[in-house]
Structure 1
């Protein structure tokens, strides 16, 4: 079958797997405040205005959390699936599972059926969200790796935006079609992903690990050599991959347990906390429950769907503000991007907490449809809440959003990459599950202090990144090992290079990719190869 070698096209198809997560976020956030949804899954009867109250806060938290709960399991097993069947086939399996889950969700007539469908959808998202970054990182050249893996986050933001406005348009439909139509349309991108992957190559590093060396070289020639089998860059890559594969086979058996050995524990903790911190920023909570926040800020006074359109503005901001990271993240580096994002998100969360604490009043009985909407704030402070929320999204989008997907695949050796990224992503979904379940009761009980909690997390992640997260931008995946392991033979020291001393080497790697200088003139066989190609 014809294979496409353009790395940007490959990334554009693969990251549809990330877009599925975005579709799910807004397919829930955009409907939880609408009457057709509240009436179909009503548990609390009616308020004084005759409106359906919908599920209880605990049950709504459970419905929302069902998807990340399934994603945790999907991410955890995705490493085994990916190592066994290949990166590409594992993503295709995930897309097929999503279609099944979407059918069940669309047909849901009660809460248990809805929860089961969302768990199945989550299982799919767990597989795709873990393995799409691995697949792209193993195909991408070092100088473009951050940008290309960052497309995963951009696809998530586009999924959120597209599905939100589909939900917004559907909200004007009569009856259950208001939420069944967007839930059914979720299956369309998964079908495109399933078919599109048929025309993409497999990861050359996975092929090499499974002794399919000719196929691995063909993929590298197609994607990096632009069809030239004598490309120096291709020969260097295949030599480095061969060296790593042979070393790993001679020195280690692959299992999840190796991730917790002294040599790997440091980078395992860094990768896991990258994903945990991305959740503890509170961004996905903002996405799921943004209609609650804006209702408390008075944007629902017009009734009906009045709160949906201003809520959609933040999704537009999310899409637009991810673009700078795609353009310049490899130039900025990973560390500065994460540090700047943590600082500004902490600032906006503190402002929101202060405004709600100083200017809000407790919600009156029957004022809102959910007890999670526990505060009411009006006037200039309410406008400041809205502006601060938008600025929070604008701070997350070019920083922790794309880097949290880009960074973990760069940390691990080939033999462990699939399983390691699966473990990291499962941590993401475990905390996503907990927070999705936690936030409605938190707004109901500790009100504005919920913002203080997330601001504290942002301050903690700033310190953690500064002292522990090394720079990996623009380094070939096989060279990242040197950052973490400065040990000598017979030594048990696995400290590596201190994080704050690591640097971005963009100019060097750009010259290597353009074949202006060899990647390592000391490597055995390099001079022989140069004389063979240029006699």
Structure 2
């Protein structure tokens, strides 16, 4: 079990996941309120293009927010970036709740998207850099848990407010986006800096204190061992000339790193191409195809959100750091492909026939889909990408992955209302194919990263590891020790590393 302080720090920063989950979930119920549709769309209460724009502009904001993190998080620290993103989310919530026109609402959704794009990029990086290797899957997975809770709560808030009168039905839920970002903005200022960011800034003693506190150990030997490993790896990256922003961006798409860049982008993007975002944002349309509308549809949305929370609990208790990362992803992809195929068959058979048993079965499999997605993907699509990159590319790589996800989400949010209107249940076939293809790619091409330190994962991809040069470092450090320039504990750590490396 993780150190209590590490757990608190992870939960506090993972509130960024709650912010994203609630903000992205609340739009689904908002679009289902007749008072909202009358206020924003006019007497017809229909405007598929504007509905798509409200959803897609949020994803456009995520793309912009994700791209900005690569610079901000490296320059000003991970924790200050989280706090700044929380502030933007507050501004976005105010704009949306007070919206007097579609333009004002869209601007609010854009700012909210920027905030959530930053949070999605930086929170898993921060937690991954602070967490002990053997607990990283659980701790980074807390972001997925908070995403699920945020989304589930958004559905219930939307349902509860359906009993309100007038525009309060949709203004109150949109205003509920504000409280958690207020907490996050303030609380993030009090969490420790990422130890790896501190080492990169040559604040080694601060990094050592953070490692001792977060990893729950009084064994200074182990803390010093990890600190030296981090320091030597960052030193090696500097010697290779990877500190320049221009060089780093070029290297992200170089032959050496392109596999990691595209793997991270693919995994995060599959969060969209799995079908989850389409079902979440447009679930009321899916329920309408099998005969459920109004408050009944909103109630079903609430139950759908709860299934995600149950699935995320299952992940944290049974899957996190216990199942291999690759097995989790490929089995999950096959499970989603199968469940969606069943949903498509049920919708095709009972969607227009008025058979209540068939309609209920279709809804049941959408619930099963929500549970399976939470078990296999809600956390894992953030855990693995946060592990793939060396320090100088970590925030930039996650930023690009979130950007790619957002671009795909924009496309899906624009075409989904049109596709459902024209091909109905046949639209499911897209996600059957994408999930099956992802299973093949994960099974054959994704290396296992679980249980390794972030520095050791670089070796899996063929990078030079600082510990490979430990023999040369030992000679230098011994000379420094003889001159009184190096502490004996550090030499002992290096000596132990060298023996371990030789034994392997």
TM-score normalised per structure 1: 0.84
Q: 2:19 matched to 1:23? A: no
196-205 or 138-147, which deviates more: 196-205
The secondary structure found in structure 1 opposite 2:447 is coil
- In structure 2, the residue matched to 1:109 is 100
Paired residues of 2:158 and 2:298 also in contact (CA < 8 A): no
Q: 2:50 matched to 1:59? A: yes
- In structure 2, the residue matched to 1:380 is 357
Of the three residues 251, 269, 272, the one matched with 2:265 is: 272
Deviation at 1:487, TM superposition (A): 8.1
Cα gap change, 1:225/1:529 in structure 2, threshold over 3 Å: closer, same or farther?
farther
- In structure 2, the residue matched to 1:314 is 304
Deviation at 1:529, TM superposition (A): 13
What are structure 2's unaligned runs of at least 5 residues? 466-490
- In structure 1, the residue matched to 2:189 is 198
Deviation at 1:453, TM superposition (A): 0.8
After superposition, the CA RMSD in angstroms is: 2.1
Deviation at 1:356, TM superposition (A): 2.6
Of the three residues 336, 345, 369, the one matched with 1:392 is: 369
- In structure 2, the residue matched to 1:283 is 276
The secondary structure found in structure 2 opposite 1:15 is helix
Deviation at 1:199, TM superposition (A): 2.0
Q: 2:432 matched to 1:439? A: no
Paired residues of 2:225 and 2:494 also in contact (CA < 8 A): no
How is 1:28-43 mapped onto 2 (pairs within 5 angstroms)?
28-43=27-42
- In structure 2, the residue matched to 1:402 is 379
How is 1:121-520 mapped onto 2 (pairs within 5 angstroms)?
121-226=112-217, 228=218, 230-254=219-243, 255-300=248-293, 304-327=294-317, 328-361=319-352, 378-485=355-462
Q: Give distance in 1, aligned partners of 2:187 and 2:211.
A: 20
Q: Give distance in 1, aligned partners of 2:164 and 2:316.
A: 37
Runs of 4 or more, structure 1, over 6 Å off, are 527-530
Q: Describe the superposition over 1:89-144 as per-residue Cα deviations: whole angstroms up to 9, x where unpaired.
A: 00111001111111111111111111110000000000011000000000000111
Deviation at 1:479, TM superposition (A): 0.4
Q: Describe the superposition over 1:440-476 as per-residue Cα deviations: whole angstroms up to 9, x where unpaired.
A: 1110112122100111101110111111111101111
Q: Give distance in 2, aligned partners of 1:233 and 1:432.
A: 43
Deviation at 1:407, TM superposition (A): 0.5
Q: Give distance in 1, aligned partners of 2:394 and 2:492.
A: 27
- In structure 2, the residue matched to 1:504 is none
TM-score normalised per structure 2: 0.89
Q: Give distance in 2, aligned partners of 1:462 and 1:19.
A: 28
- In structure 1, the residue matched to 2:10 is 11
Deviation at 1:385, TM superposition (A): 0.8
- In structure 1, the residue matched to 2:478 is none
Q: Describe the superposition over 1:315-351 as per-residue Cα deviations: whole angstroms up to 9, x where unpaired.
A: 1010011112112321102111111110111011111
- In structure 1, the residue matched to 2:77 is 86
Q: Number of aligned pairs?
A: 468
Paired residues of 2:66 and 2:118 also in contact (CA < 8 A): yes
Q: Give distance in 2, aligned partners of 1:400 and 1:474.
A: 18
The secondary structure found in structure 2 opposite 1:174 is coil
Q: Describe the superposition over 1:13-40 as per-residue Cα deviations: whole angstroms up to 9, x where unpaired.
A: 0011111111112211112121111111
Q: 2:494 matched to 1:524? A: yes
Q: Give distance in 2, aligned partners of 1:215 and 1:377.
A: 66
Q: Give distance in 1, aligned partners of 2:225 and 2:62.
A: 37
Q: Which of the pair is proportionally richer in helix? A: 2
Q: Give distance in 1, aligned partners of 2:397 and 2:159.
A: 38
Cα gap change, 1:177/1:262 in structure 2, threshold over 3 Å: closer, same or farther?
same
